[in-house]
Structure 1
Amino acid sequence: MKKLVIINGTMGVGKSTIVSNLYKQLENSVWLDGDWCWLMNPWNITEENKTMVMNNIHYILNQYLENSMFEYIFFTWVIHRESIFDEIVAGINRHDYKIVKITLTCSEEELIHRMQQDRRSEKEIENSLNRLGFYKTMNTQKLNTDGKDVGETVKALLKMIADER
């Protein structure tokens, strides 16, 4: 059965770094990032743009779920509210897939360190820290990445995905 693996977490936690390595470890997989649908200049959060972005995410996910080649569809995005998960799943046309929801977490200190290494602005760091608490109560499996390198984190995620039947 196909698996739609949604990996979320606050900005700077390492979603892109980890999943850019993770999807290469599983044959017949693809990685999609919700941020790609927001790459616009100027970045303008309007109701029209939010609707367009979600419609594009639904379209892209449905296309990959329909494609017989892919067994694993990895989707990364900040997703800081349970309602966003619900909205994503509501737009999927298929029912013959398993959804795996995993939140990457880390300590405040680790998050600050990573974001400073990435040369993120103080405002971006502050925004990310303010959202960190939102993820604690979400209906997802949690993976704390403190003290883990990319390889260790990928290995842990592979186990979590394999354990989902």
Structure 2
Amino acid sequence: MKRLILINGPMGAGKTTVTPLLAQKLSPAVWLDGDWCWKMEPFTVTEENKAVVLENIHTLLGNFLRRGSWETVLFCWVMDHPEILRQVLQPLRDEKIPLWLFTLTCTPEALKARLEKDVKAGIRTPDIIPRSLERLPLYRDMDTVQVDVTRRTPEQAAQVMADLVLGNRERRCWP
């Protein structure tokens, strides 16, 4: 039986690091990072681009859910408003599969330290720090399973989520 897992959280929380680790634990699995659908130069956020990105996400996730030998389909992305979650999930509602919604959270201090490390390594630009920190409170009230990664390694965070999924606990209803 297929299952869909969405991993949410602010920029720098560790979604792109944790998701492949979780995929290994829930193998056979396939995963998609929503950021891959935004790889454009120059990076331009317009209504048309957002629509194309969402359409691509729906197509890829739908194909992964309907085809292939994967039991688990994972998707990670910055989804800081419930409306974004609904937009991602709406076209997939007819798939009738179990759904888990996770949010990686951490303290502002931990998030800032992670982002500063990325800036120093040349992975991110400095403007990401205030943008990510200002969005951090938006995740607290989301109807998702909150996984605090402040003091957890990516491996530990993936294990917490795998235990919940394999134990069939904390599953969410489709919004």
- TM-score, scaled relative to structure 1: 0.95
> C-alpha distance in 2, partners of 1:79/1:73?
17
Give matches, 1:1-165, under 5 Å: 1-92=1-92, 94-119=94-119, 120-164=124-168
Letter in 2 for 1:131: R
Cα drift, residue 133 of structure 1: 0.4
Aligned residues between the structures: 165
Q: From the superposition, tell whether residues 14 and 74 of structure 1 become closer, same or farther in structure 2 (CA, over 3 Å).
A: same
Shift of 1:68: 4.2
Contact 1:62–1:93 at 8 Å: present in 2 too?
A: no
- Structure 2 unmatched ranges of 5 or more: 170-175
- Structure 1, unaligned runs of 5 or more: none
Q: CA deviation at 1:107?
A: 0.3
Report percent identity of matched pairs: 35
SS of 1:52's equivalent in the other structure is helix
User: Whole-Å Cα distance in 2 between the matches of residues 93 and 105 of structure 1?
Assistant: 26
Q: Distance in 2 between matches of 1:92 and 1:127?
A: 30
**Normalised TM-score (structure 2):** 0.90
Q: CA RMSD in A?
A: 1.3
The whole-number CA distance in structure 1 between the counterparts of 2:114 and 2:94 is 37
1:68 and 1:83 map into 2 onto residues whose CA distance is 29
| Segments ≥4 residues shifted beyond 2 Å | 93-96
Q: Are the aligned partners of 1:100 and 1:164 in contact in 2 as well (CA < 8 Å)?
A: no
